[in-house]
Structure 1
Amino acid sequence: MTLLGPSCAAYSECLDDIQKAGVLTAGNALLGAHPSLWQDKDGTYHGIDADLLQELTRRLGIPRSEFIITEWTTLVPGLKVGRWDIVLSDLTITEERIAYANIAYSHPYFMLYDRIIVPENSPFHHVEDLKNANLGSVLGTTDSLTAHALVEKGIAAKVSDFNTFGDPFVALRNGQVDAVVVDQGTLQAQKERFTGLRTIGNPLFYEAKPAWKKAQSKASYRLGSEGIVVRNTCPRLLSAINQAVDDMKRDGTIRTILKRYHVWEDLEDHLTQNDQAG
C-alpha cells in the first residue's frame, strides 16, 4: 500500500507519542452491548473489548488505556483526526472500508459468522427443514443479507426484518417467525433475555457485496473477521498491534477471553489466521 502525506519519519511517531503520553485511547461505539462492552456503576468496563484493550495495552508497554465512547458513524472520522489512537469496536474488515476509509486493520482477532436459531421445542432440526420458514433478522445488517440469501437459494420461504437486535427474538418467542439469523455474538447477548434457544446447521459465513466480490476473494482474511483499526500513517503502531494480536492467538489469551464470554468455537483458530489485513 502506498502511503501519502507526511514523511516516513513522521509515520513512526504514533507509537512514540502514545508511549510518551502513557495512555492508549480506543474509540468504541458498543457501550452496553453484551458481550462486547458494558460498564459497572463504579465505571469499570467489562466485556470482550475491555479485556482485549487491557491485554493489548499491557503488551505494548503502555501504563493505561481509556475507552472514548462515541457513535458508530464517528468511529473512523474520529480516528483519522486523532481523537483516539485506535478503534476497538467489533469493526469487521472489508476491502471496501480499507479502500474508501483509507485506514489500516490489524490481523484478525475474532471471526463473526451467522447462526440459525430456533426454540428448543421447534420442529426444525436441520437446515433442510426450513423450506417454508419465515426467518427473522435485523434490517440493514450483514445478518439480514445472509437471511435473504437463504431465501434466494430456496432454503427458506421469506425474511422478516426488524429494527433492533432484540426484536427478532421477541418475534420468535411470539411465533411470528420460525427462526432467527444473527451472528454468534448477538445470540450470546440475547440468551440473557431469551432462554430455550438452540442452533441448527453449520455456521453461515458472510458473502461480499456483488461489487466487491472480486476484491474480497483476493483478501488474506475471511469476510467477517474483526480487527483493530489504526490510521494508515501509523505503521509502527500497526506492526506492534499485529505482533500483540498474533502472540495472544498463539499463547491462548484470545481463546481464554472469548471462552469467558461464551463466544468461542474451535473453528475460530483457523478462521482468524491471515498474513495482513490492511
Structure 2
Amino acid sequence: MVLSLPSTLKTLLLGACFGSAMLAQSAAQAAETSMWQDVQKAGVLRCGAAVAAPYVMRDAKTGDYSGYFVDLCRDFGEKVLKVKVTFVDTNWDNLVAGLQSSKWDLAMALNQTPERALAVAFTVPATDYQVSLLVNKNNPKVAQVNDDIAALDKPEVTFAVMSGTAQDKAISSVVRNGKIMRLPGMDEARLAVMSKRADVLVDANDTNHLFALANPDWAREILPKPALAKQGVSFGVRRDISAADLEVLNIYLRQRRDTGEIQQLVDKASVEANSAK
C-alpha cells in the first residue's frame, strides 16, 4: 500500500531539499574562488623560486630576482590579482614540497612530468622544454639542414652530448647512422662543437638558446621535428586548486604566449643571463 503525504509536509520537504541544494551550491562556489581570494585578502602572492637560468635568476649581491618566470609571476600578481609579489628562495629538491605545505602559492618553472603530477597540478605551459640541436652555420655538412633530424643522421656527422643525460637518451633513440660523441660534461660537449671535432651539439633548448645568443657569429639552433623529449614548462599549483582559479592563470598564460610576449621575455632573460656570465 502506498501512503500519500499531506501537501504541507510535501511542501516542507521540497523546501528543505531546495535549501540544501542552494547551500551546497553556495559552498561549492565559495570553494571555487578561495585561492585567489585568499591571496587578495593576504595582499601578497608568494612565488617559490629555485634558480635555473633563464627561467629564474638571482643576483648574488642584491638578492633581486629576474628571469622570465619571475616576470610572469610579478606581472600576474600585480596586474591581475592587484597584490604585492614576493619571491621565496628555495631549491629544486624542496620546490614541490613547499608548494604542498603552502609555503608559497606558485612554484615557478616546473617541467610537466607524470611523477610531479601525482603531487601538484600544472598550469598550461608558458614555454616548452625539449632537446634541441646547435650547429655551426658555416659547416657545409649541416648548412642546409632545417628541422629534419634524419637529414643529419649521416656517417660523416658527429653529435656531441653529455653522457648519461636525458639528451643522451633522446638522441641515441633516433640516430642510427651518425656518430655520437659522449662526453663527461656540457662544457666538453660545447667545446667539441666549437673546435669542430663534432658537428652537432645536443642539449636542452633553453641552454642551447643561451649558447646561440652568446655566439651569434657562428651558432645556429635547430628544433628537430618530431620533437625530442618535449615537456611543458609551467607554474605548479596545489592539487586542491579549483578549476575556476586555475583557468584564471591559464587564460593569462595563453594570451601572453599567443601574442609572443613570453618569447620576448625569454629573449630578454637569455641576454641578461649571458651578460651576468
Please say whether Structure 1 and Structure 2 have the same fold, judged by a TM-score greater than 0.5: yes
- How do 1:107-256 and structure 2 match up within 5 A? 107-125=124-142, 126=145, 127=149, 128-132=151-155, 133-139=157-163, 141-151=165-175, 154-163=176-185, 165-191=186-212, 194=215, 196-200=218-222, 202-203=224-225, 205-207=227-229, 223-235=230-242, 236-256=244-264
The question of whether the paired residues in 2 share the 8 Å contact of 1:104 and 1:229 is answered with yes
Q: How far off its partner does 1:79 sit?
A: 0.9
- How do 1:26-41 and structure 2 match up within 5 A? 26-31=47-52, 33=53, 35-40=54-59, 41=61
Unaligned segments of structure 2, at least 5 residues: 1-26, 272-277
Equivalent-residue separation in structure 1 for 2:50 and 2:184 (angstroms): 21
Matched residue, 2:72: 52
Q: How far off its partner does 1:104 sit?
A: 0.9
The question of whether the paired residues in 1 share the 8 Å contact of 2:167 and 2:204 is answered with yes
Find out whether 1:16 has 2:37 as its counterpart: yes
Deviation sequence 1:148-182 (CA, Å, 0-9, x none):
1222xx1422241544x444212322445332112
* TM-score normalised over the length of structure 2: 0.71
Classify 1:250/1:77 alpha carbon distance in 2 versus 1 (closer, same or farther; 3 Å): same
* TM-score normalised over the length of structure 1: 0.71
Q: How far off its partner does 1:229 sit?
A: 0.8
Deviation sequence 1:208-257 (CA, Å, 0-9, x none):
xxxxxxxxxxxxxxx42222110111225423211221332355432442
Matched residue, 2:112: 93
Matched residue, 1:269: none
The question of whether the paired residues in 2 share the 8 Å contact of 1:169 and 1:194 is answered with no
Q: How many residues were matched structurally?
A: 234
Deviation sequence 1:34-93 (CA, Å, 0-9, x none):
x2232344343322122211222134324221222322122111111112111112x222
Structure 1 residue identity aligned to 2:56: L
Helix, strand or coil: the match of 1:150? coil
After TM superposition, where is structure 1 displaced by more than 6 Å over at least 4 residues in a row?
none
Equivalent-residue separation in structure 2 for 1:141 and 1:22 (angstroms): 42
Q: Which has the larger radius of gyration?
A: 2
